[in-house]
């Protein structure tokens, strides 16, 4: 073989390898819809399956620990009012976000882009969301490690490692595997969770009066309900506000809304969207109830009252032999941890991948960020985050509220009332400005000021009210900034260069397809935009948002339209 032929052969092999790598990355991206909306051709699940899958993701035991912690710190009365405040805020802010996700089949990052943040401005909210996923991955992993230590005598550090690594294989398979896992494990989980609470209410009715009378660890310093303690409790609970983003990762796969399925569609969106907080609030109350029972009736109960595995073990032991109680407690912890942490790892990997690809124009593969997210969570576990849980969650809540409330405010006020923000969410590169000050500045103001309040920068009197500060600023700043900027930073272009209609007769994203000239694949209309690069004969070409997001040269990005 000649040297020239050998070089040609090597070049051909390299090209084949490069194409294989590209195809693998493209297939992975198509499976998860990491960087774009979920097309109609992929959304084969019914409304019930989507809702069940979404609610299966809230099977975490962190709510039990959160409820116990705020109750032990502030007393039953303050904790219950704090949980109520938390539920109201979640319902009010979660509804517009859930509706947009289900109606337009996009995740919260894509919603955020077109709701006042801009194409690159929403990267910071992706980091906030990714932080949420690894904090709660670490919390659930810690709870599982406690269960493994109690039931199998596995040392905590090793338990942390096991609880982290066992999730990775499940997450690799993407949305289809997650939907199957959630649907099949939810009934068993519900039975095992509800059983202890029902048993206590029936067999130990005095536990109810004990629960309501519990004043908390600092009861001697000030009995009864007070607004400061209520808001501190609510602040810890509101760290879960970003959970709506994980719900949306499922809701974006809702089938098209039609007159025939309208009632089922709305029920699924409401229940699996903001409705997750109903189940979350119930779990927090049950966690507090079990904690108070342990404190009142179990020797050294105060030391284990905030650990869900001990909560369930102690109640199971009243109902059955110790060996069976231990077995069920460990099974419950393992099922719960797997159910939520596959969602945490999956959603976190999407958030990191999305941000990294948008900034670098390089798609490294979601698996890289699955491992990255799990690694950060493992570090938190090994640092024993469980011991300073309230502080971590209280601090994070300010960031989460700043983001979620800002987006909800933009949808409600700027899109529907002021009509300064485009009602149809835009997410495609080239259609948006890089940064829109309306949402981006509002979120920064809300987060930074409320965090300063949280750490006492404005005095101890206002310190408990950082959640109110975060919500208030994030609520009023977007309409003020939208009016001040006259809404001119929302759209860089109003024409995407495609003549086909974006929606069908019922207002659902169109299922019509166009060829992407970069990837050579067909994509649905809402995912496409005209390319700024004409074809060989000067004809118009189209490019998908997936290909456009990795265009390092910017040659395919349409120019900005001059202001009217």
Least confident of 205-214, 360-369, 424-433, 470-479: 360-369
Say yes or no to pLDDT of 183 above 90: no
Confidence (pLDDT) at 32: 53
The span from the CA of 364 to the CA of 341, in Å, is 22
Residue-wise pLDDT tens digits, 93-109 = 999 999 999 999 998 99
DSSP annotation of 414: I
Over residues 232-249, the pLDDT tens digits come to 999 989 988 988 988 998
Q: pLDDT, tens digit, for every residue of 436-478?
A: 999 999 999 999 999 999 999 999 889 989 999 999 999 999 9
Rounded CA gap, 42 and 30, in Å? 9
For 419-503, strand residue ranges (E) read none
Q: Are 217 and 68 in contact (CB under 8 A)?
A: no
d(CA 461, CA 445): 21
- % the chain with pLDDT above 70: 88
**pLDDT(395) > 60:** yes
User: Contact, 223 vs 77, CB < 8 A?
Assistant: no
Integer-rounded Cα radius of gyration of the chain: 25
Sign of CA dihedral 458, 460, 461, 464: positive
Tokens of residue 81, six digits:
């009012």
3-state secondary structure of 209: helix
* Three-state SS annotation for 264-308: HHHHHHHHHCCCHHHHHHHHHHHHHHHHHHHHHHCCCHHHHCCCH
Residue 185 burial (CB count, 10 A): 16
Mean pLDDT taken over the chain: 85
Q: Label residue 354 by pLDDT band (50, 70, 90).
A: confident
Is residue 374 within a helix (H) or strand (E), and if so which, with residue range? helix 366-382
Q: Beta strands 528-530 and 522-524: pairing type? A: unpaired
Tokens for 282? 């119930």
Considering only residues 346 and 218, tell me which one the structure prediction assigns the higher pLDDT.
346
């Amino acid at each position: 073989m000649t040297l020239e032929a050998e070089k040609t052969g090597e070049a051909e092999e390299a090209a084949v390898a490069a194409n294989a790598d590209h195809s693998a990355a493209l297939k992975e991206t198509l499976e998860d819809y990491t960087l774009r909306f979920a097309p109609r051709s992929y959304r084969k699940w019914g409304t019930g399956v989507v809702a069940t899958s979404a609610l299966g993701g809230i099977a975490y035991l962190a709510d039990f620990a959160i409820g116990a912690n705020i109750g032990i710190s502030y007393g039953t009365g303050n904790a219950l009012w704090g949980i109520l405040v938390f539920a109201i805020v979640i319902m009010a802010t979660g509804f517009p976000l859930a509706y947009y996700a289900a109606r337009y089949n996009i995740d919260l990052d894509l919603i955020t882009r077109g709701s006042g943040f801009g194409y690159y401005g929403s990267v910071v909210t992706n980091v906030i969301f990714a932080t949420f996923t690894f904090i709660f991955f670490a919390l659930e992993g810690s709870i599982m490690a406690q269960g493994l230590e109690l039931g199998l005598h596995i040392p905590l550090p090793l338990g942390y490692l096991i609880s982290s690594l066992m999730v990775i294989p499940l997450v690799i398979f993407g949305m289809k595997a997650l939907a199957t896992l959630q649907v099949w494990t939810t009934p068993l989980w519900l039975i095992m969770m509800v059983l202890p609470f029902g048993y206590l209410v029936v067999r130990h009715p005095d536990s109810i009066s004990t629960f309501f009378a519990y004043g908390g660890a600092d009861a001697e310093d000030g009995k009864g309900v007070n607004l400061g303690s209520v808001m501190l409790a609510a602040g810890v609970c509101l760290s879960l506000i970003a959970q709506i983003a994980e719900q949306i990762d499922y809701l974006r796969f809702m089938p098209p809304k039609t007159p025939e399925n309208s009632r089922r569609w709305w029920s699924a969106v409401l229940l699996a969207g903001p409705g997750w907080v109903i189940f979350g609030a119930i779990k927090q109350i049950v966690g507090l109830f079990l904690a108070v029972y342990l404190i009142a009736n179990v020797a050294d109960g105060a030391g284990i009252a905030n650990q869900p595995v001990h909560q369930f073990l102690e109640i199971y032991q009243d109902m059955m032999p110790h060996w069976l109680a231990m077995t069920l407690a460990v099974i419950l912890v393992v099922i719960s941890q797997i159910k939520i942490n596959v969602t945490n790892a999956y959603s976190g990997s999407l958030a990191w991948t999305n941000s990294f690809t948008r900034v670098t124009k390089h798609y490294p593969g979601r698996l890289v960020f699955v491992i990255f997210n799990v690694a950060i969570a493992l570090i938190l576990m090994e640092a024993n985050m469980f011991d300073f849980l309230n502080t971590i969650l209280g601090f994070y809540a300010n960031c989460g509220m700043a983001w979620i409330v800002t987006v909800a405010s933009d949808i409600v006020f700027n899109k529907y009332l002021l009509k300064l923000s485009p009602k149809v969410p835009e997410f495609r590169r080239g259609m948006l400005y890089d940064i829109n000050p309306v949402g981006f500045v509002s979120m920064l103001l809300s987060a930074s000021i409320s965090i300063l309040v949280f750490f006492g920068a404005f005095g101890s009197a206002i310190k408990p009210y950082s959640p109110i500060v975060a919500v208030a600023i994030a609520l009023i700043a977007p309409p003020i900034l939208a009016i001040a900027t006259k809404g001119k930073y929302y759209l860089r272009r109003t024409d995407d260069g495609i003549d086909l209609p974006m929606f069908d007769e019922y207002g659902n994203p169109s299922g019509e397809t166009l060829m992407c000239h970069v990837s050579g694949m067909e994509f649905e209309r809402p995912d496409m935009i005209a390319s700024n690069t004409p074809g060989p004969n000067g004809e118009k070409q189209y490019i998908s948002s997936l290909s456009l997001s990795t265009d390092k040269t910017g040659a395919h990005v349409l120019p900005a339209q001059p202001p009217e």
